[in-house]
Amino acid sequence: MNIHEYQAKSILKEYGVKVPAGYVADTPEEAVEVAKKLNKETGTKFWVVKAQIHAGGRGKGGGVKVAKSIEDVKSLSNDIIGMQLITPQTGAEGKKVLKVMVQEDVYYPGESEIKEYYMSVLLNRATGKNMIMYSTEGGMDIEEVAEKTPELIFQEEIDPSVGIQGFQARRVAFNLGTSGKAFKEMVKFVVSLYNAYVGTDSEMFEINPVFKTSDDQVMAVDAKVSLDESALYRHKDIAAMRDVTEEDPTEVEASAAGLNYVKLDGNVGCMVNGAGLAMATMDMIKLSGGDPANFLDVGGGANATTVEAGFRIILKDPNVKAILINVFGGIVRCDRVANGVVEAYKNIGDIKIPIIVRLQGTNAEEGAKIIDESGLKVTSAITLKEAAEKVKIALA
């Protein structure tokens, strides 16, 4: 699950990570009040107005602006709230901005040189250890840095059973070239950031940039956080941060129905029980000359209700030209699934596109008979090869 920047910073702050003062606003008028509040709290005379969407690269799309007056705050907020923000991570359709974060400007002059770094914490799946990835080249695309100057990308692997050690945090601070007060602040920052990552069961914490101020404070100027949805039951407060307006409406509907659904760009809708079988089904669709339109796992207890919900979700995609239902009858009997398909079909009404139902496992033949004798525009199959051939015919 992704969360907004202002939410990520509230989590970081709880774990002792320094962040610039800032608040979220839904309207330009609220943004002005926030700016005045920040002026009283911090004395800042400049503010940064930042679009809150679940995507990076907001600055490139015009979603991050510096305001040098209260009037600027209102004007810029008015421009950003409601805009369709297009970034390298949103795709061509972009995302509509519904709120902004107004933040104090920390790029103030001082005795020390300001500096931007990159830092992220994530799992290295190859080693089974957590990893801090960091670079002196913050504030820009880390992919570009990795491609052009890979020697500027550092990694620190941490055994999750032991946790981050002091010497590791110091090594990170040393490799980033910090010294004196900034070195001590960076060590604290690294430890706190790692603890936030572990403490929230996150998949990734990305801070770009990590900023060293002119008075040698180290803080997270930006923050991108992705959380492990499977662990959200342990974090009710974080689960409440979910913003469904940032998610695909169909995926939200599927989640509410207890289905695992991911929309793709193909022409064959697929409904399967089990993630592994779903992946195999998508491969089969490709081999038959089609392209999967979705990943949809109805789980082991497929019944009329889940099948109907799956049908309705798949049929919302206008690109779908055929539907393949591929069920292995292990936990659930194939005849029960077949009855569920027939009942769901009748509840929905006339379905214009061909449907192929491949049943294998317990009572597969009985299930195929139910499908074939239903009188509906549904074709049964038992083997993968047979199902693939029927998908190919349906697309012809």
Residues known to be catalytic? 118, 206
Domain boundaries, the chain: 1-20+108-247, 21-105, 248-395
Predicted pLDDT at 187: 98
Largest CA distance in the chain: 83
Q: Binding site: which residues? A: 50, 57-59, 106, 116, 208, 222, 273, 330-332
Q: Which fold has domain 1-20+108-247?
A: D-amino Acid Aminotransferase; Chain A, domain 1 (3.30.470)
Quick one: CATH architecture of 21-105?
A: 2-Layer Sandwich (3.30)
Predicted pLDDT at 301: 64
Q: Binding site for Mg(2+): which residues? A: 208, 222
Quick one: CATH architecture of 248-395?
A: 3-Layer(aba) Sandwich (3.40)
pLDDT (mean) for 8-35:
97
Predicted pLDDT at 300: 66
**DSSP label of 233:** G
Residue 370 in this model has a pLDDT that exceeds 80: yes
HSE at residue 249, side-chain half, CA atoms within 13 A, is 3
Predicted pLDDT at 182: 97
Shortest CA distance to 187 belongs to which of 163, 162, 164, 208? 164
Q: Which residue has the higher pLDDT, 241 or 301?
A: 241
For residue 240, count other CB atoms closer than 10 A to its CB.
9
Q: Binding site for ATP: which residues? A: 50, 57-59, 106, 116
Q: What is the pLDDT of residues 320-356, one digit of tens each?
A: 988 998 888 777 788 888 888 888 888 888 788 888 9
C-alpha to C-alpha distance for 117 and 133, rounded to whole angstroms: 11
User: CA-CA distances (angstroms) from residue 346 to 200, 304, 308?
Assistant: 45, 11, 10
Q: What is the pLDDT of residues 265-295, one digit of tens each?
A: 888 999 888 888 888 888 888 888 888 999 9
Lowest mean pLDDT among 42-56, 86-100, 111-125: 86-100
pLDDT (mean) for 190-212:
97
pLDDT (mean) for 93-99:
92
∠ Cα 376 382 384 (to 5°): 115
User: CA-CA distances (angstroms) from residue 161 to 98, 164, 271?
Assistant: 41, 9, 39
By the 8 A CB rule, do 104 and 42 touch?
yes
pTM (2 d.p.): 0.81
Q: What is the pLDDT of residues 36-61, one digit of tens each?
A: 999 999 999 999 999 999 988 898 88
Same fold, 1-20+108-247 and 248-395: no
Predicted pLDDT at 302: 65
DSSP string, 285-301: HHHTT--B-EEEE--TT
